[in-house]
Amino acid sequence: MSDPVLELRDVCKSFGALKASDHVSLDLRAGEIHALIGPNGAGKSTLIAQIAGSLAPDSGSIHFDGQDVTHLGASARARLGLARSFQISAVVPGFTVAQNILLAVQARAGRSYTMWRKADDMASDQVARWADMVGLSDRLGAAASDIAHGERRRLEIAMALAMRPKAFVLDEPMAGMGTEGVSAMTSLLDPLRLQAPILLVEHDMQAVFALADRVSVLVYGRIIATGTVAQIRRDPLVRQAYLGDEA
């Protein structure tokens, strides 16, 4: 099996006496969606912040794409190809959908696009490609401030895709969505794992069960189980601590 794209080893983080991350080890492998689930206050956001680089662990290590990134900041990790979406949004409300995607295309291309006459054509091809992939082709001219909640989520995914990341960290993509929105987002995320593996933090269990190749369950800062959806659903400890009748 190839090396994991992202690997946490024994990560610990305390806030005073509270152990928000208690010796957490988990990995994200090429081609997979790995869901991180757990009750409110289990420590999911704290873990995501440490993965993204906005919060430093007290101990333990984080490797990304073969490098030890434990002491790198969030922007350095983003430059290495770690795309985090949803809780920190890069969408500019006054720009159109196309302009927002173009921002991400240009950020990815750096200066190279500005140096060629064909730059505009190449950039608009890219914008069209990513918009098409998330189903926003007919919304390119709409202002980001005017589009619906679900469309904004899709725009954020298009922007993340345009950065050609090596891994996605998606923080509750289904939050605030109704049944139809959840089902549309599930269909959209499903093939994304082929572009880059996804660490998915999500409360919507139907979406998690439909999408995840593996699930890790976090309770009081500790991973109590990691396994396939079937293994997690029948794990007595998980049922007792979190899933209950939902399993």
Ligand X SMILES: Nc1ncnc2c1ncn2[C@@H]1O[C@H](COP(=O)(O)OP(=O)(O)OP(=O)(O)O)[C@@H](O)[C@H]1O
Q: Which of 4, 37, 44, 53 binds ligand X (CB under 6 A)?
A: 44
Phi-psi region of 31 (alpha: psi -120 to 50; beta: other; left: phi over 0): left
**147 vs 217 by CB, closer to ligand X:** 217
Contact call for residue 38 and ligand X (CB under 6 A):
yes
The residue within the footprint of ligand X, chosen from 35, 42, 52, 147 (CB under 6 A), is 42
Burial string for 219-231 (b: 16+ CB within 10 Å, else e) reads: bebebbbbeebee
Q: Is 144 in the site for ligand X (CB under 6 A)?
A: no
- Which backbone phi and psi does 5 adopt, to 5 degrees? -70, -40
The verdict on 56 binding ligand X (CB under 6 A) reads no
Q: Return the number of the residue (37 or 98) whose C-beta is nearest ligand X.
A: 37
Give the nearer residue to ligand X in terms of CB position, either 209 or 220.
220
* 200 forms part of the interface with ligand X (CB under 6 A): no
The residue ranges of DSSP E strands in 2-103, in sequence order, are: 6-15, 18-28, 33-37, 59-64, 67-68, 82-85
| 1, 40, 115, 138: residue in contact with ligand X (rule CB under 6 A) | 40
Q: What angle do CA 3, 7, 9 make, to 5 degrees?
A: 125
Six-digit token string for 234: 């029948």
CA 69 to each of CA 10, 21, 73: distance values in angstroms, whole numbers, following the listed order? 14, 18, 8
What minimum distance in Å lies between the beta carbon of 242 and ligand X? 11
**Stretch of 14-22, 192-200, 228-236, 239-247 contacting ligand X, by CB under 6 A:** 14-22
Question: With respect to ligand X, which residue has the nearer C-beta, 91 or 217?
Answer: 217
Kindly state the smallest distance separating residue 188's Cβ from ligand X, in Å. Answer: 23
Q: Does 43 engage in binding with ligand X (CB under 6 A)?
A: yes
Q: Of 155, 148, 212, nearest to 176 (Cα)?
A: 148
Q: Could you give the dihedral angle defined by the CA atoms of residues 128, 88, 205 and 23, in that order, rounded to the nearest 10 degrees?
A: 130
Answer yes or no whether residue 20 interacts with ligand X by CB under 6 A. yes
- The footprint of ligand X on this chain (CB under 6 A) covers a number of residues equal to 11
In the block, residue with structure tokens 């949803």? 86
Any contact of residue 170 with ligand X (CB under 6 A)? no
User: Binding ligand X by CB under 6 A: which of 31, 41, 73, 178?
Assistant: 41
Decide: is 15 part of the binding site for ligand X (CB under 6 A): yes
Coil, helix or strand at residue 194: helix
Residues within the interface to ligand X (CB under 6 A): 15, 18, 20, 38, 40-46
